[in-house]
Amino acid sequence: SETEPFQVTLSDESFETYELDPPPYTLNVTKKELKQMYYDMVVVRQMEMAADRLYKEKKIRGFCHLSVGQEAVAVGIEHAIERADDVITSYRCHGFAYMRGGTVRSIIGELLGRRGGIAYGKGGSMHMFTKGFYGGNGIVGAQVAVGAGLAFAHKYTGRKNASIILYGDGASNQGQVFESFNMAKLWNLPALFGCENNKYGMGTSAARSSALTDYYKRGQYIPGLKVNGMDVLAVKAAVAYGKQWTNNDNGPLVLEYVTYRYGGHSMSDPGTTYRTREEIQRMRSTNDPIAGLKQHILEWGVASEEELKNLDKEARAYVNEEVAAAEAMPPPEANQQILFEDIYVKGTEPDFIRGRTPDELFYFKH
């Protein structure tokens, strides 16, 4: 049946460990979940490709960082955690916003600056939030310290939940990352730090910016786990293991999801000046997360080629419909009132907010 668990064996290359016993190389999954993971990755990719198209049509402007190629990380993590766990990440956040419960229309609407966007059109590509998802953060590495704070909240209130904290290889040398490691270990926080190592920080390869590129060993006094971030099942297994680890009060872990982005760092980076087209092509043809899961699904007799084609169609139709709905959303009205809405929780606003000069005050209409 669709919901009956069965055991699958992960590839030998799924994990490497530092001061830690490896997770089991077997995983219990259901047919339903495998198909859902496949669908989720296809939706994230289609959504990112729609954003790419809208950007080229000049409908989306400013910052826009896409995660094509990295879908297995966001999808694998969400399939291993609960809604009550927290996720916080860098500015390459669209896939995470979707997996945490944001709709495609609210994410694309946000990119288009529409009032119906996930952050009311005020955040754009880098600042998306939903329940249990603390962004999208525009400052390199800033989210790591906030994520440690989320882990502290779980510990302080006695909840058996974890904080999933993501940052890139480019952020891994930031001071606050190490400050957060220290606090997390000192207080034994349920923090799963995770470096999404996509090999390049903007145009700088990892080896040119990091003295030690084994990011999972960077926690010194925190055990580490390196994961094949192109394999959604390995990611799920690693994060489920990490959650078990924090639940048993073992404190933090440093994970490294080895992944790859097919596109440039952002829309203004063609992504071909610091690496060869052949490298990108090789990763696409030998290591693609969607193609990899598809192969397993067919091998294990979970679904036929035909069923998967239908899932592809379904995902594409859903994304196209959602994108059309986002494009039809009205732009925000150009009034001053909108500037100082959404700063405070509704009903708790002060009578006025200060402007740029001492005499410039914006009054609330309660």
Question: What does the pLDDT read at residue 165?
Answer: 99
| Cβ contacts of 349 within 8 Å, gap of 6 or more | 343, 364, 366
Candidates 237, 288, 317, 263; CA nearest to 38 is 288
Of all helices (H) and strands (E), which one includes residue 292?
helix 289-299
CATH superfamily membership of 6-332? Thiamin diphosphate (ThDP)-binding fold, Pyr/PP domains (3.40.50.970)
Summarised one tens digit per residue, pLDDT across range 86-99 is 999 999 999 999 99
Question: What does the pLDDT read at residue 366?
Answer: 61
Average pLDDT per consecutive 10 residues, the chain (366 residues; last block may be shorter): 96 98 97 99 99 98 97 99 99 99 98 96 96 96 99 98 98 98 99 98 96 98 99 99 98 99 96 96 98 98 98 98 98 82 83 84 75
Residue for token pair 């094949």: 228
- What whole-number distance in Å separates Cα of residue 157 and Cα of residue 175? 28
| Cβ contacts of 341 within 8 Å, gap of 6 or more | none
| Cβ contacts of 245 within 8 Å, gap of 6 or more | 253
**List of E strands, the chain:** 6-9, 15-18, 26-29, 86-88, 163-168, 191-197, 200-201, 204-205, 224-228, 253-258, 352-354, 361-363
Question: What does the pLDDT read at residue 16?
Answer: 98
Question: What does the pLDDT read at residue 354?
Answer: 83
- What whole-number distance in Å separates Cα of residue 188 and Cα of residue 249? 7
| Cβ contacts of 18 within 8 Å, gap of 6 or more | 214, 216, 217, 219, 223, 224, 225, 226, 254
Count of C-beta atoms within a 10 Å radius of residue 324: 12
pTM confidence score = 0.95
Within the chain, all domains assigned CATH 3.40.50.970 are found at 6-332
- What whole-number distance in Å separates Cα of residue 86 and Cα of residue 149? 11
Question: What does the pLDDT read at residue 360?
Answer: 86
